[in-house]
């Protein structure tokens, strides 16, 4: 909890799914039909669909205006996440982002978001590092992150596909091939917790016990 890994979104999805199971049972067809309304409800609770869509549907999702699409993946990467021992405030990190953003930076990020999606779908990892570059929030978060940039750079930039900061600029995640994950994890700072993760393809699942 409080580690910037989308816990609040996942927790809200879990609660809504549990409520559905209590009211409607575990019928798979009913559950699938209910996912759209669950997405709308949890998005309203969370304030945005980013984490709840992925928690509910699994995989890599794009979601806006009440709609969600799962991206086909041309790769099966690992995600090496480094998390500090201290809790952080996502709400606080969002207040550090300027309320007005230059149009050129908006255009830059829209283009690079499309590039990320295309690279994931096609499996073209050669463009991934370029695709992950950002002008809206990464620099702001890293500036608040107690030299996270320097402390997590070692090794990750040599073999990782892309690296991002999350939480209040104090967390780092590297996307890489699975064979490189352990090596990257060993080079991250010891004063935190390192997780080697994979993309969950299932999302929320109901099963009768």
From-to residues of CATH 3.30.70.890 in the chain: 72-202
83-116 pLDDT per residue, tens? 877 665 666 656 667 788 899 999 999 999 999 9
- The class (CATH top level) of 72-202 is alpha beta
Contact 91, 13 (CB under 8 A): no
Instruction: Report the predicted TM-score, pTM, of the whole model to 2 decimal places.
Output: 0.82
Measured distance CA(152)–CA(172) in Å, rounded = 7
Tell me the pLDDT tens digit for each residue of 128-173: 889 988 888 777 665 655 555 555 555 455 556 776 655 544 577 8
Whether 39 and 63 have beta carbons less than 8 Å apart is answered as yes
Q: 5-48 pLDDT, tens per residue? A: 788 899 999 999 999 999 999 999 999 999 999 999 999 999 99
Q: Which residue has the tokens 């967390």?
A: 171
């Amino acid at each position: 909890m409080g580690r910037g890994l989308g816990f609040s979104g996942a927790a809200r999805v879990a609660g809504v799914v549990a409520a559905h199971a209590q009211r409607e049972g575990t019928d798979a067809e009913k559950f699938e039909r209910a996912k759209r309304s669950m997405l709308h409800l949890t998005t309203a609770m969370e304030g945005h669909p980013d984490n709840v869509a992925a928690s509910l549907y699994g995989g890599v999702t794009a979601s806006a205006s009440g709609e969600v699409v799962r991206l086909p993946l041309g790769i099966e990467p690992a995600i090496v996440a480094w998390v500090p021992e201290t809790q952080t405030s996502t709400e606080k990190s969002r207040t550090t982002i300027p309320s007005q953003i230059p149009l050129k930076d908006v255009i830059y990020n829209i283009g690079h978001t499309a590039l990320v999606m295309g690279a994931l779908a096609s499996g073209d990892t050669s463009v991934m590092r370029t695709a992950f570059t950002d002008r809206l929030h990464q620099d702001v978060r890293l500036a608040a992150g107690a030299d996270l940039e320097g402390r997590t750079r070692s090794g990750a930039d040599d073999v990782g596909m892309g690296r991002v900061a999350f939480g209040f600029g104090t967390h780092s995640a590297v996307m890489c091939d699975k064979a490189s994950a352990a090596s990257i994890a060993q080079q991250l700072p010891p004063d935190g917790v390192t997780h080697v993760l994979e993309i969950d393809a299932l999302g929320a699942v109901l099963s009768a016990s």
